[in-house]
């Protein structure tokens, strides 16, 4: 029986009282004997949220089943499915299909056969893609693949492929669909003494939180590097865990040379790096890192990018328990890299870690308790800090080389009271003390032509090298204690003024200038200063930040001596209104200096420290940090940066580092002895860098970074990169690197980096 074109059939009551609708742009046939309807052309069957479209649909009224052929498209809440042939039970929503294309974001798959319902789908001989598929998207080829409620509950015979090449095989995989099925990072290229190289790290999910895989590197001039790698990422409503570990072991067959201590680099080399961070219950956290290697050059030789960002790796594990008013912590810190080499010199007083990469004091362990400022009575607040540590330091001085353990106790207590002068001023008065004790502290002893000496650790470990001839050099253990008071005040005022200034170019809606002058004064009486006076040339601060002399947190108590000083500063802010709410900072300028009334300082006034930032629009950012010598009116250090950008289309960023370090780095220094005389040679840093990025198209972008050294008069480092995007998932970097005067790197190198950017 033929029915008119675009006829609609309604069947009510047989399937959960829902309505079945069958529509076609061709006449629909009805077979009364078989109780079935046949729709051809552009046929559509609708049942609830299920929509089935095909070139031919046959629906049986008695069984409640439908069959479809040709250009099949079926969709309902949770997934979309395409097929050539299909059978469906409308009551149970169970589907069987041939030559299937299936999508349930982020999973997309192709398979010879598929079966399932709206909650569960099983595919045979499937190609599975994460994110939308294209020819470059990494895929999984799976013999038997099943997804249920957003999780892969079964994946058997899994082959991982990237750019059409098989790269790994797993017999089985079971993970949520929002978990990356693979993590890949690869580089290949050529570099001087490494030759042609290929570097890769591949991690595969073992469970919904745990990844396992390894590092596979090959260097034509060095050999093969292998090592396992692991990752754990887990998050619940009450906790979060993130930990990673990466290892590498290989027998270096190339020209290894010597390390920074003139010690031959070993043939058998290895590295272990990792980190852990675990937070739970909103008040507990564990954080730790490990960086261990066979020699101090292995990271620089093989993985320069990682070395560039972390040139002095640490090894520690810390637990913190935090309450609103107090905090408890425990820290373990070990020296996993005891890199040193005795210098072939006459016995001299090698004061300081002159034969080590950097100073490393072990904590085995250290426990701390801190009481945050807590109200007592009458507006008076108290704060307390107690710290106990079993420490150790390995000494390499002259022909001495041994590890010395010692115990340290550190306590701090302070009372403070806020006195409000008026609405625009504030005054805080405080008085406190800090007590430190070193038991069995290593002490360097010996005798020179000027007499005998005894210098305790850790003061001795921070001192510069002296060239005095030494006799009877030895390390003894002695005990020291010191008490330092902390008496003073902090005063700050706040003034502001507004202007109704409007500027569309800079998006300024009103202008507000806020000025905050402040004065901090303190006197630190000291009893039993540890060891001798601070030696000439002692380094106090090494950067453009204001030195910290808050007694509660300062870390140089071993040098601390009686002092009286004042800090004078001025803070400036320029603000404008935001369109949505609040204000936006246009500019900020802070300047401060310390004046010394009494104490172990050579000058009456410290460097003048300045910080300036300017961001009037999203496309412009300017920032500078400087340190100016008020003694001889000379700029001693300047770090600055200027960035101009146009969204993600292009950016231009300039930076510089200027420093003159012959007078020390902070309060303390030494008398001038000429440009190249004295304990230290005159040290100048004058480096300028420029970074340019440009997006050519959706597939290509350029990035160039160069650094010029005006002291050496050459381009010390240059990197030129072309990034190419393949599809939605893959980005490849082609990088050419050029260097001058590098200690271990060759003058040029080329590499290609492969990254999966969609996962």
726-745, pLDDT tens digit by residue? Answer: 877 788 899 999 988 887 88
Q: How many CB atoms lie within 10 A of CB 196?
A: 13
CA distance 222 to 301: 11
The per-residue b/e assignment along 655-665, b for 16 or more CB within 10 angstroms, e otherwise, is bbbbbbbbbbb
pLDDT reading at 360 higher than 80: no
Bigger pLDDT: 243 vs 176: 243
Q: Tell me the average pLDDT across 403-407.
A: 86
CA distance 1 to 254: 86
pLDDT at 9: 42
In a domain, 580, yes or no: no
Q: Which residue has 């290697």 as its token pair? A: 293
What's the mean per-residue pLDDT of the chain?
Answer: 82
In a domain, 65, yes or no: yes
Which 8-state DSSP code applies to residue 283? T
Burial class (CB in 10 A: 0-12, 13-18, 19+), 487: middle
How confident is residue 545, by pLDDT bands cut at 50, 70 and 90? confident
- Listed in order, strand segments (DSSP E) in 131-194 are 139-148, 151-162, 165-176, 183-191
The pair of three-digit structure tokens given for residue 119, joined into one six-digit string = 């909650």
Are 459 and 559 in contact, with CB atoms under 8 Å apart?
Answer: yes
In a domain, 61, yes or no: yes
In a domain, 416, yes or no: no
DSSP-assigned beta bridge partners for residue 534:
none
CA distance 316 to 331: 7
How confident is residue 519, by pLDDT bands cut at 50, 70 and 90? very high
SS3 304: helix
Burial class (CB in 10 A: 0-12, 13-18, 19+), 615: middle
pLDDT at 359: 60
Q: What are phi and psi of 460, to 5 degrees?
A: -65, -35
Q: Tell me the average pLDDT across 394-398.
A: 67
Total count of domains within the chain = 1
Q: What are phi and psi of 394, to 5 degrees?
A: -95, 125
- Alpha-carbon dihedral angle through residues 338, 344, 347, 348, given to the nearest 10 degrees: -70
Are 233 and 241 in contact, with CB atoms under 8 Å apart?
Answer: yes
SS (H, E, C) 522-557: EEECEECCCCCCCCCCCCCCCCCCCCCCCCCCCCCC
Q: Which CATH number covers residue 58?
A: 2.60.450.10
How confident is residue 18, by pLDDT bands cut at 50, 70 and 90? low
pLDDT reading at 440 higher than 70: yes
In a domain, 122, yes or no: yes
Contacts of 205 (CB under 8 A, 6+ apart): 173, 175, 179, 180, 181, 182, 211
- 60-74, 170-184, 197-211, 669-683: the lowest-pLDDT one: 669-683
The per-residue b/e assignment along 745-758, b for 16 or more CB within 10 angstroms, e otherwise, is beeebebebbbbeb
Are 701 and 713 in contact, with CB atoms under 8 Å apart?
Answer: no
SS (H, E, C) 220-244: CCCEEEEEEEEEEEEECCCEEEEEE
Bigger pLDDT: 545 vs 352: 545
Q: Tell me the average pLDDT across 554-559.
A: 72
Pick from 755, 737, 754: nearest CA to 746:
737
pLDDT at 719: 95
Which 8-state DSSP code applies to residue 461? H
Bigger pLDDT: 466 vs 204: 204
pLDDT at 411: 95
425-436, pLDDT tens digit by residue? Answer: 899 999 999 998
How confident is residue 461, by pLDDT bands cut at 50, 70 and 90? low
CA distance 23 to 45: 6
How confident is residue 612, by pLDDT bands cut at 50, 70 and 90? very high
Q: Tell me the average pLDDT across 338-366.
A: 58
- 78-87, 408-417, 482-491: the lowest-pLDDT one: 78-87
pLDDT reading at 234 higher than 70: yes
CA distance 312 to 298: 13
pLDDT reading at 210 higher than 50: yes
Does the predicted TM-score (pTM) go above 0.75?
A: yes
pLDDT at 10: 42
In a domain, 192, yes or no: no
HSE-up of 464 (CA within 13 Å, CB side)?
17
| Segment holding 199, helix H or strand E | strand 195-205
Are 212 and 204 in contact, with CB atoms under 8 Å apart?
Answer: yes
The per-residue b/e assignment along 142-166, b for 16 or more CB within 10 angstroms, e otherwise, is bebbbbeeeebeebebbebbbeeee
The pair of three-digit structure tokens given for residue 281, joined into one six-digit string = 């219950």
- 203-207, 227-231, 652-656: the lowest-pLDDT one: 203-207
Contacts of 179 (CB under 8 A, 6+ apart): 205, 208
Pick from 758, 759, 739: nearest CA to 749:
739
Contacts of 634 (CB under 8 A, 6+ apart): 628, 660
Highest mean pLDDT (candidates 82-86, 134-138, 365-369):
365-369
- Listed in order, strand segments (DSSP E) in 677-747 are 684-695, 700-709, 714-726, 730-739
Which 8-state DSSP code applies to residue 193? G
How confident is residue 470, by pLDDT bands cut at 50, 70 and 90? low
How confident is residue 11, by pLDDT bands cut at 50, 70 and 90? very low
In a domain, 750, yes or no: no
In a domain, 736, yes or no: no
Pick from 250, 251, 203: nearest CA to 230:
203
CA distance 384 to 326: 9
Full DSSP string of 125-138: EEEEEESS--TTS-
Q: What's the N-to-C CA distance of the chain in angstroms?
A: 55
Strand pairing report for 223-235 and 210-219? antiparallel
Phi-psi region of 300 (alpha: psi -120 to 50; beta: other; left: phi over 0): alpha
pLDDT reading at 559 higher than 70: no
Q: What are phi and psi of 304, to 5 degrees?
A: -65, -35
pLDDT reading at 588 higher than 60: yes
pLDDT reading at 306 higher than 90: no
pLDDT at 153: 67
CA distance 540 to 564: 16
pLDDT at 442: 81
CA distance 102 to 96: 12
Residues of the domain holding 79: 9-138
Q: Tell me the average pLDDT across 643-654.
A: 94
| Segment holding 305, helix H or strand E | helix 304-309
Q: Tell me the average pLDDT across 695-721.
A: 93
267-287, pLDDT tens digit by residue? Answer: 999 999 999 999 999 899 999
Q: What is the CA radius of gyration of the chain?
A: 35
pLDDT reading at 467 higher than 80: no
How confident is residue 758, by pLDDT bands cut at 50, 70 and 90? low
Q: Tell me the average pLDDT across 291-310.
A: 87
DSSP-assigned beta bridge partners for residue 753:
187, 733
CA distance 192 to 454: 49
């Amino acid at each position: 029986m033929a029915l008119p074109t675009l006829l609609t059939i309604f069947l009510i009551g047989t399937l959960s009282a829902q309505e079945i609708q069958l529509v076609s742009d061709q006449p629909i046939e009805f077979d009364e004997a078989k109780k079935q309807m046949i729709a051809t052309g552009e046929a559509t069957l609708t049942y609830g949220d299920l929509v089935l479209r095909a070139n031919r649909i046959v629906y049986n009224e008695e069984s409640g089943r439908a069959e479809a052929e040709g250009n099949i498209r079926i969709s309902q809440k949770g997934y979309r499915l395409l097929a050539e042939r299909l059978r469906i039970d409308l009551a149970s929503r169970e589907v069987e299909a041939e030559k299937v294309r299936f999508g349930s974001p982020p999973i997309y798959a192709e398979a010879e056969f598929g079966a399932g319902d709206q909650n569960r789908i099983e595919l045979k001989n499937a190609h599975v893609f994460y994110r939308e598929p294209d020819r470059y998207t990494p895929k999984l080829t799976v013999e038997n693949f099943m997804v249920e409620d957003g999780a892969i509950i079964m994946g058997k015979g899994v082959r991982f492929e990237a750019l059409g090449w098989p790269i790994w095989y797993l017999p089985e995989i079971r993970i949520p669909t929002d978990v990356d099925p693979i993590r890949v990072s690869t580089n290949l290229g050529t570099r001087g003494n490494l030759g042609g190289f290929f570097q890769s790290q591949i991690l595969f999910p073992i469970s919904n939180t745990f990844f396992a895989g390894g590092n596979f590197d090959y260097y034509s001039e060095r050999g093969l590097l292998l090592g396992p790698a692991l990752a754990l990422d887990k998050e619940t409503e009450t906790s979060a865990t993130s930990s990673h570990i990466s290892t590498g072991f290989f027998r270096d067959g190339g020209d290894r040379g010597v390390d920074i201590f003139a010690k031959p680099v070993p043939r058998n080399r290895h590295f272990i790096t990792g980190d852990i961070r675990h937070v739970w219950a909103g008040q507990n956290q564990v954080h730790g890192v490990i960086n261990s290697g066979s020699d101090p050059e292995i990271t620089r030789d093989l993985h320069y990018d990682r070395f560039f960002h972390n040139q002095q790796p640490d090894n520690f594990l810390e637990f913190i328990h935090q309450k609103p008013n107090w905090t408890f912590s425990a820290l373990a810190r070990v020296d996993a890299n005891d890199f040193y080499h005795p210098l072939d010199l006459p016995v001299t007083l090698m004061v300081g870690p002159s034969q080590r990469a950097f100073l490393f004091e072990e904590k085995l362990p250290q426990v701390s308790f801190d009481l945050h400022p807590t109200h007592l009575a009458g507006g008076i607040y108290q704060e307390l800090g107690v710290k106990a540590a079993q420490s150790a330091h390995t000494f390499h001085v002259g022909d001495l080389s041994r590890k010395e353990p010692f115990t340290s106790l550190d306590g701090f207590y302070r009372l403070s009271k806020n006195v409000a002068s008026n609405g625009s001023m504030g005054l805080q008065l405080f008085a406190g003390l800090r007590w430190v004790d070193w038991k069995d502290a290593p002490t360097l002893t010996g005798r020179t032509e000027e007499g005998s000496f005894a210098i305790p650790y850790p003061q001795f470990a921070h001192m510069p090298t002296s060239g005095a001839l030494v006799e009877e050099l030895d390390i003894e253990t002695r005990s020291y204690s010191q008490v330092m008071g902390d008496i003073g005040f902090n005063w700050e005022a706040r003034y502001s003024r507004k202007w109704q200034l409007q500027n569309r170019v800079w998006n300024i809606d009103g202008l507000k200038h806020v000025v905050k002058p402040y004065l901090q004064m303190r006197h630190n009486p000291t009893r039993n200063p540890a060891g001798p006076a601070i030696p000439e040339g002692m380094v106090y601060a090494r950067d453009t930040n204001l030195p910290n002399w808050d007694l509660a947190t300062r870390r140089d108590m071993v040098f601390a001596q009686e002092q009286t000083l004042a800090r004078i500063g001025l803070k400036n802010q320029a603000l404008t209104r935001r369109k949505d709410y609040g204000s936006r900072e246009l500019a900020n300028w802070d300047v401060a200096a310390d004046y010394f009334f009494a104490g172990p300082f050579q000058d009456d006034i410290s460097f003048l420290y300045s910080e300036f930032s300017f961001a009037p629009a999203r496309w412009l950012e300017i920032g500078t940090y400087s340190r100016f010598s008020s003694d001889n009116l000379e700029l001693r250090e300047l770090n600055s940066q200027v960035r101009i950008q146009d969204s993600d289309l292009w950016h231009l960023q300039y930076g510089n580092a200027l420093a003159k370090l012959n007078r020390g780095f902070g309060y303390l220094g030494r008398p001038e002895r000429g440009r190249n005389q004295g304990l230290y040679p005159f040290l100048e840093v004058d480096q300028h860098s420029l970074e340019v990025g440009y997006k050519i198209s959706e597939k290509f972008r350029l990035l160039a970074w160069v650094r010029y050294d005006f002291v050496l008069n050459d381009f010390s480092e240059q990197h030129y990169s072309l990034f190419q995007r393949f599809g939605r998932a893959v980005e490849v970097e082609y990088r050419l690197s050029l260097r001058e005067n590098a200690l271990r790197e060759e003058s040029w190198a080329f590499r290609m980096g492969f990254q999966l950017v969609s996962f």
